[in-house]
Amino acid sequence: MIVFWWSVGSLSHPTDGTGSDEKRDTKHGSTFLVGVGKADITGAVVQIPFAGYGQMNQTGTGLRQRTYARSFVFADPANITNSFIYVVLDTQSGDTAVRYGILQGLQTLGGKYGNFREHNVAVGGTHQHSGPGGWMNYLLPQIATLGFDKQTYTAIVDGALLSIQRAYDSLAPSTISVGTIDIKDANINRSPYSYLANPAAERAQYSSDTDTTMTLLTFDRLSDGKTTGVLSFFSVHGTSLYNNNTLVTGDNKGVAAYLFERGATNDARFADNFVAGFSQSSVGDMSPNVLGPFCEDTGLPCDFKTSTCNGRTELCQARGPYFNEGDNGAKSAFEIGRRQYNAAFQLYGQISSGSGVLLAGESAVASYHTYQNMSGYEFISPFNGRLLSTCYAALGSSFGGGTSDGPGAFDFTQNNASPNPFWRLVRGGLHQPGPEQIKCQSPKQILFDLGAMNSPYAWAPDIVDVQALRLGQLLVIVSPSEITTMSGRRWKATIAGAAHSILSISDPIVVLASPADSYAHYVTTEEEYAVQRYEGASTLYGPNQLAAYVNLSLAYLPYLGVPNAVAQLPKLPEGPRPPVTTNYSLAFVPGVAFDSPPFGHSFGDVLSSSTPYFYMVGDYVSATFVGANPRNDMRLEKTYAAVEMNIDGIWEVVRTDADWNLVFEWKQTNVLLGTSQVTLTWHIEDSYYLSGWGNALQRGIYRLHYYGESKNVFGTISSFEGVGPEFSLQI
């Protein structure tokens, strides 16, 4: 099927995005219904390989920070059915199966949630690489996580649903303001060699190869003027924590949200249950490792073209601001999160002082969604009017090389168009691409011909989500693929121009959200694709994928008009539905057999603890307990660990495992006997870690508290606790 992006615009309907009988008041803000909600989605924190880096040996051993779903519900106060939900998950990406589970859950809830269907629910991920995998829909990402883990999948879906319910219950008449700020020190382009392949004239339009702009939305409740939430869009990978980190966290965006929400607790400007969403944007080539890539053996910069050291990828590792800490990237993650938080908080202050743009138009709450099969999709290019086609999905040789954020293995390198004979043999054992596919994907040398690999089920998507959202003059493009900087710039600029002409928005604000709804790897410009570094090799549908995505956005843009305009359009086709594999996905991680304490001990007994009684800020205090497998109970909305302070004879909780500086670690000591240990470590926060928290530490007596659940040989699960020795904190 050939799609002409202008064909919808030629239909008989008002081209003014407000409709013929309604004009937007852009000088003053309008009233929207806005609700915000947050819920715990922390899955199995041990024994499940992490999603993101594709390293089977990066298997969870504990928890540094709980992960969350943060939901934002928007509705037209004149007609609440004109509404949509935007969910930000602390996960590697959005996902077909996760979104399906959320949609099914909303229909099961029924009633007021029955209006939320395919067209008005968007689910994005922060793109962290430090959380349990096993929840993704397609086989390729499942391979690296040893298959599907129902426990983690259910935690994500149920937590997302709970966050949506909390958001809906908090709906209130509100104004929405938006502003932007540049953050110069929170990301770099990890593929500058590819970026330089873009036309010089195009590159000259921008100050750098890095997308440094943060866009922030603030939601202010009319009844009391309090801010109920903020939602930001900023481009930076969730790869501050390296692929040797095995503690669950939300990475830098999880830190940014944590700091903003923590700081809001004692600030009268913010409502109770304030929610800060730090959404992902043109993330494809944006790295948080801002010192750049260096060779681990020589200390010299990696090769600019191939990101190798002496021709190999393994020793090329990009460095975050605190790489010398030797903590697997933990302090760098906190720092990059802190930089995003500081910028967002500064921008919030500027917006509150009147520098922001108020969104206008109560009835301009709109969204659309459809599916598109990208295998051989023919269309007219929105860039040059040529007839183009996409390809069946494939990954190239440079995909195996990884990136400087997470190097690959074997002998793959970036900017490599030729796999060696061994990998050609491996490829042929899976599926040998035909001549048409080879020509279509050229110059990509195909490593995995994913579009033809459906045994035992689909390895990667051939059907992608096509979605966009509108709030007044703000448009949100929802992309299932990670978008490179220049790809995002082209996409946003094209949609902004079309929004002016098709929707009559005089000053449109366009942002990108990715990877969302599904995970379709990457999308680069055609020029970047030709270079075939990691991002180009991971652009599934060939060199015309970006043009196809933009074409589809333009084709359906009129569906973001106001209701009386949209009513005159043909019904939006649903498109072919992707498979949902949750009922038949492979799973190779065994369940918990049983737990037992070592002879002479009970669960929760203290085995050891740090020896001093007196501690200062910056010190570490720890205790090790007789433990049990935390997969027995994920303790959602609760905690495995607490720091308690004695206040007038009562032990009050002052830290939980949602706090960055309190770490929960689990170690199995004997598989056959079912024995294990848990260590709690509190890095007592100094002024650096107390950013925005005020006087959050006091002199006094403290202790560590462990909460666990054990499983006996009959399968019965029982709760227990362990309490560490008291210690004194000297301020």
Contact (Cβ atoms closer than 8 angstroms) between residue 517 and residue 96: yes
Q: Quick one: which H or E segment has residue 471?
A: strand 463-471
Measured CA to CA, the distance from residue 101 to residue 726 in angstroms comes to 45
What are the residues whose beta carbons fall under 8 Å from the beta carbon of 429, sequence distance 6 or more?
none
CB atoms within 10 A of CB 575: 17
**CA-to-CA dists, residue 663 to 343, 525, 627, angstroms:** 27, 42, 15
Please, are residues 243 and 210 in contact by the beta-carbon 8 Å criterion?
no
Gap between the Cα atoms of 620 and 681, Å rounded: 7
SS (H, E, C) 100-165: HHHHHHHHHHCHHHCCCCHHHEEEEECCECCEECCCCCCHHHHHCCCECCHHHHHHHHHHHHHHHH
β pairing state of 641-647 and 700-711:
antiparallel
Examine the residue annotation and report whether 232 is marked as an active-site residue of this protein. Answer: no
Catalytic residue among 30, 240, 287, 487: 287
- Measured torsion, CA atoms of residues 116, 120, 121, 122, in degrees rounded to the nearest 10: 180
Q: Across 323-415, where does the E strand assignment appear?
A: 357-358, 365-373, 378-380, 387-389, 395-396
- Tally the C-alpha atoms within 13 A of residue 442's C-alpha that lie toward its C-beta: 6
Residue for token pair 């409709």: 19
243 Cβ contact partners less than 8 Å away, ≥ 6 residues apart:
53, 55, 58, 129, 406
Provide the β-strand partners of residue 121: 85
Contact 650, 637 (CB under 8 A): no
Report in angstroms the alpha-carbon separations of 278 from 40, 97, 273, 586: 16, 23, 16, 33
Which residue in the block uniquely carries the two structure tokens 């690296």? 144
Distance separating alpha carbons of residues 674 and 594, to the nearest angstrom: 6
Return d(Cα 250, Cα 608) in angstroms, integer: 29
- Rounded to an integer, what distance in angstroms lies between the CA atom of residue 186 and that of residue 518? 26
Q: What angle do CA 249, 250, 254 make, to 5 degrees?
A: 135
Q: How many CB atoms lie under 10 A from the CB of residue 27?
A: 7
b/e per residue 346-385 (b: at least 16 CB within 10 A): ebbeebbeeebbbbbbbbbbbbbbbbbebbbbebbbbbee
Residue 315, Cβ neighbours under 10 Å: how many? 15
Strand pairing report for 387-389 and 522-523: unpaired
Q: In one letter, which amino acid is 64?
A: R
Q: What's the DSSP call for residue 56?
A: T
Strand partners, 512: 477
> Binding site for Zn(2+), residues?
127, 237, 482, 522
Active site residues: 287
